[in-house]
Amino acid sequence: MTLDPEILGLLLLAGVAAGWVDAVVGGGGLLLLPALLVAAPTTPLATLLGTNKLGAVFGTTSAAIAYARKVPLDRGVVLPTSALALVGSGLGAVLATALTADVLKPVIMVVLAGVALLVYFRPAMGSVADPRLRTRNRLLAAIALAGLGVSFYDGLIGPGTGVFLIIALTAVLGMDFVTASASAKIVNVCTNLGALVVFAFGGHIDWLLGLGLAVSTIVGAQIGARMALRRGSGFVRAVLLVVVLALLVRMAWDVLAGP
């Protein structure tokens, strides 16, 4: 796609902001996808989704590396969840080229509202780890929920994936927010990769723009990961609430505005 320099500059700035949000809690697609839709309204949606995934996978990988250097990862959770995420997101991406996600938005809005209430009215959740919750059944449930359910959503729609991953790991397994965010980044890399492969094989990627967005998301991701590590779980919880409410507003607008 051909873009004016001013539009391209704004897209790259949106990429920095999206990388920052993704590194802290996830949900960078809330910023970058609308920016792409405005910048290139005549470009097929699948191409915008694929180009966004190309930028996102670099930013998320950058944040995952920054977290992994500072936060011990629970490999018993991260590895099987990531493996499933490759499959789940790929299946979601396949359906994204054939189905509309509009029917899912009201359901997702209800889930997001539940997430916002859960985080707000349970301030202790995620502030410190609660290892008592890490039972075998809860472990299997978290792996299935994050590795298949959330990753499928990421391939199909996308925005807010990191939020859902963090909630699954804190509410189900009792991780603190920083550890959950670090683990979510590894899983999110795999959800992005699974969807990216499908979009690439379908020719739905603008490689030049996507690589430009990759650079900008890496910059934002490094800033965001360092801030989250330095400021701790309270900061991540606050940003999580803001992102969830922003997602709710955005989806409500899409539903009310109609086609």
Beta strands in the chain (DSSP E): none
CA distance 210 to 202: 15
Q: For 106-127, b where at least 16 C-beta lie within 10 A, e where not — what string?
A: eebbebbeebbeebeeeeebbb
| pLDDT tens-place values along the chain, 259 residues long | 677 788 888 889 989 998 998 888 777 777 787 788 778 878 887 888 889 889 989 999 999 999 888 888 888 999 999 999 999 998 988 887 665 555 556 766 777 777 778 777 777 766 788 888 889 999 999 999 999 999 998 887 776 788 889 888 998 988 988 888 899 999 999 988 988 998 899 898 999 999 999 999 999 999 999 998 898 878 888 887 887 787 778 777 766 766 5
Q: What is the pLDDT of residue 222?
A: 94
